Amino acid sequence: MPVAAIALCLGIVLLSPAVLASESGLLFETDTPISLELKGPLRRLIRQKHKRKEMAFTLTTPAGAHEVTVRARGKSRMRVCSFPPLRISFADDATPGTLFKGEDNLKLVTHCLDSNSAQANAILEYAAYRIFNIFTEIGYRVRLADIAYTESDAQAPTARNFGFLIESRRALSERLSGNFIQAPGVALGALEQSHLASVFLFQYLIGNTDWSLVAADEPNCCHNGDLLDIGKRRFYVPYDFDLAGLVNASYAYPDPALRIRRVTQRVYRGFCLPDAVVESALTDVMARWTEIKQMVDQLPIEGRDARELHDFLEGFHRLATGERDILNVIKRSCLGSAQRR
């Protein structure tokens, strides 16, 4: 079924021009999917994706059009995606008084491959970000988008797919009154413990092993995460969840060192923290479980994709509500557990 039809079947309402016009600067303040058109030299951008060259495009919402530049981005997805993820850049004076106020360089996660499963993957990665947003406000916000991609000389879209926009670093830091820092590494004790416990539980919930507080994306820490200072506290802010079991992308394979066969097999990769900190974080997660379920029930997916998503989340829920099952897993598996014993 076409994605637009799925949206209608599931009761998703795309914003009207009047609503958008009143939503100046509030791109990530609502969860309602937004309708976009991205028009420009698509064929050339995709053909030359490895050059990462900025190209002129027009980004149109029901509230109006914006002249932007677009380039391909990403690392592993640059290799596997026939339609790469994109970065949309606005001119410095182009966003005041608009939906995109405060944003400079927006990341757009696309459908990657031309298949129904790849479309579902994009929606499921969006869901991973939304789950973390439910856990904590100290994370990148996202907005689902129903996107029409149109070639420069075409009158009608050449493709239409769901993707999602990710809040920029500048907007996140301004929202939280924080500062991103660059460092070759981070000491465990330097990070805010309760937030860190939430990160560890979140990564375990979504079945993500493609992250680290140790491995640096040259030359700075951390792998698939940013370091953010808010006042005197330091936070690890995760991103990139396409290799998580929740998404279960066709190109996702676990690190052989983990000794698991599929990314849908959960592995706890967090460091050992005080029991009280972990238990408190788990209590907070379970208090938000109904909100998480309500969010995923609104996603524009159906059939097998929806069933597998619910089954995967239920696997975590069963473990979390068992008699200390998940706490025992964490104690056995957390990094540094051998030293504790």
Q: Where are the domains of the chain?
A: 3-173, 178-340
Cis previous bond, 184, omega within 30: no
Closest CA to 39 of 61, 57, 62, 55: 57
In the prediction, which pLDDT does 340 show?
41
In the prediction, which pLDDT does 21 show?
35
Q: Which helix (H) or strand (E) holds 163?
A: strand 159-166
Dist CA 179 CA 234 (whole Å): 9
What radius of gyration do the chain's Cα atoms show?
A: 20
Alpha helices in the chain (DSSP H): 3-9, 17-21, 42-47, 76-80, 116-135, 169-176, 193-205, 275-287, 289-297, 303-321, 325-333, 337-340
The two tokens of residue 153 are: 């000389």
pTM attached to this predicted model: 0.91
The two tokens of residue 83 are: 């339609």
Query: Judging by beta carbons within 10 Å of its beta carbon (0-12, 13-18, 19+), is residue 154 exposed, middle or buried?
Result: exposed
Number of neighbouring beta carbons within 10 Å of residue 179: 11
CB 128 within 8 A of CB 139: no
Q: Phi and psi dihedrals of 98, rounded to 5?
A: -120, 175
Taking CB atoms within 8 Å and a gap of at least 24, the contacts of 278-281 are: 278/197, 278/200, 278/201, 278/327, 278/330, 279/327, 280/194, 280/197, 281/194, 281/197, 281/198, 281/200, 281/201
In the prediction, which pLDDT does 115 show?
87
Dist CA 116 CA 120 (whole Å): 6
In the prediction, which pLDDT does 26 show?
81
Let me know if domain 178-340 sits in CATH 1.10.10. Answer: no
In the prediction, which pLDDT does 76 show?
87
In the prediction, which pLDDT does 71 show?
97
CB 12 within 8 A of CB 298: yes
Provide the 3-class DSSP secondary structure of residue 233.
strand
User: Residue 124 to residues 5, 25, 128, 140: CA-CA distances in angstroms?
Assistant: 18, 26, 6, 16
In the prediction, which pLDDT does 193 show?
97
In the prediction, which pLDDT does 95 show?
82
The two tokens of residue 291 are: 């909100």
In the prediction, which pLDDT does 15 show?
41
In the prediction, which pLDDT does 217 show?
64
Amino acid at site 222: C
Q: What size, in residues, is the chain?
A: 341
Q: Which residues contact 4 (CB under 8 A, 6 or more apart)?
A: 146, 160
Q: Which residues contact 259 (CB under 8 A, 6 or more apart)?
A: none
pLDDT, one tens digit for every residue, the chain (341 residues)? 444 444 434 334 444 433 433 344 589 999 999 999 999 999 999 999 999 999 999 999 988 899 999 999 998 899 999 999 999 999 877 888 888 987 889 999 999 998 889 999 999 999 999 999 999 999 999 999 999 999 998 888 888 899 999 999 999 999 999 999 999 889 999 999 999 999 999 999 999 999 999 866 678 899 999 999 999 999 999 999 999 999 999 999 999 999 999 999 999 999 999 999 999 999 999 999 999 999 999 999 999 999 999 999 999 999 999 867 999 999 999 998 654 43
